[in-house]
Amino acid sequence: MPELRYEPVTDTWVIIATERAKRPKDFVPLVMAAKKEGQNCPFCPGNEDQTPPEVMAYRPGGSAPDTPGWQVRVVPNKYPALDDAAADPPRRDFFLSGPAAGRHEVIIETPDHDRSLARQEPEEILLALAAWQERYRRLGQDPGIAHTQIFKNHGVVAGASLEHPHSQLIATPLVPAAVRSRLESTRAYHRERGRCYYCDTLAAEEREADRVVYADGSLLAFCPFASRFPLEVWLVPRRHAASFAEADRGELRSLAGALKAVARRLLEGMRDPPFNLMLHSLPYRETGYRDSFHWHLELAPRLTVLAGFELGAGMFINPTPPEMAAEFYRA
């Protein structure tokens, strides 16, 4: 029977559409090759001059900036969506606009072009996460930046234009409305029950157990009850902390292990489908939500299309019950 399931953080009802139920193996992921660029890949070692100058890198051998020898390298996006130098747009009568000020950076996760997340060792993933955190913290010191969204697009259908493994960050001068409403809904939950919504969800998911994908001492990964996407996974640290800036090395290490496990199952069991990975973290100066927000990652495989119903009504149709998805990941 189809079922409507409620996701309170985004106030969204999801249709778990069992009439059109799809087991993971029923999907034919739309796998399209991103630009390989061959020897011209701007993210490959030796081509450092094809990106803007790096803002940071891990260089165990102490090599010079913008030369080979790095493990992780962070550079400004060559075609930034936001730009600190953006000027004020013309004033208009009725319409509201502002300068697109901010930062748009690329985290090149590995020097190895063919080493996608699923193929990286947890130690390598840990380094990329450490770079995420270093940039996340640093950008928070800029008074012009209100929020940093870190994300990864894997595969063309998920928005990746280059194949070389990388993630991105976009730091905005404002708190996006969708982020604001997540803060509000989880604070409302906290006011009502005196507890963090995510802490309660961790306990409930662990109790029901059938949506759990991965667990260790510091992290739980599960397919959320009201998954919007087939095979969606949330990776949530057990320790309550509102900001990703507060994650400790042990938590990042757990996260790296869980990401490796999830990505490898997708690669091996699903022929490497496209996916997006999103960090959710408290915006820098929103201290009023420290008890009610809880940083975590959400991974959304892109096996269905966001079409007219989703864009118009904001509801999602998910043909794969999360209990079935979790079984796939645990196999």
- Residue from 46, 53, 89, 144 that binds a second copy (CB under 8 A)? 89
Site string for a second copy, 18-57 (x = CB under 8 A): -xx-------------------------------------
**Residue 61 beta carbon to a second copy: minimum distance, rounded to whole angstroms:** 32
Part in contact with a second copy (CB under 8 A); list of ranges 42-50, 135-143, 262-270, 277-285? 277-285
Secondary structure of 218-280 in the HEC alphabet? CEEEECCCCCCCCCCEEEEECCCCCCHHHCCHHHHHHHHHHHHHHHHHHHHHHCCCCEEEEEE
**Window 279 to 298, contacts with a second copy (CB under 8 A):** 279-280, 298
CA dist 314 and 149 (Å) reads 21
Cβ-based nearer residue to a second copy, 110 or 281: 281
13 sits near a second copy (criterion: CB under 8 A): yes
- The angle that helices 197-208 and 177-193 make with each other, rounded to 10 degrees, is 80
**Window 138 to 177, contacts with a second copy (CB under 8 A):** 147, 149, 151-153, 156-160, 168, 170, 172-174, 176-177
**Residue 95 beta carbon to a second copy: minimum distance, rounded to whole angstroms:** 4
81 sits near a second copy (criterion: CB under 8 A): yes
Alpha-carbon dihedral sign for residues 314, 317, 320, 321 = positive
Q: What is the DSSP letter of 41?
A: -
Whether 166 sits among the annotated catalytic residues: the reply is yes
225 sits near a second copy (criterion: CB under 8 A): yes
Give phi and psi for 206, each to the nearest 5. -70, -35
100 sits near a second copy (criterion: CB under 8 A): yes
- Residue from 62, 91, 192, 207 that binds a second copy (CB under 8 A)? 207
Catalytic, out of 154, 166, 190, 296: 166
CA dist 295 and 289 (Å) reads 11
Alpha-carbon dihedral sign for residues 61, 65, 66, 70 = positive
Catalytic residues: 166
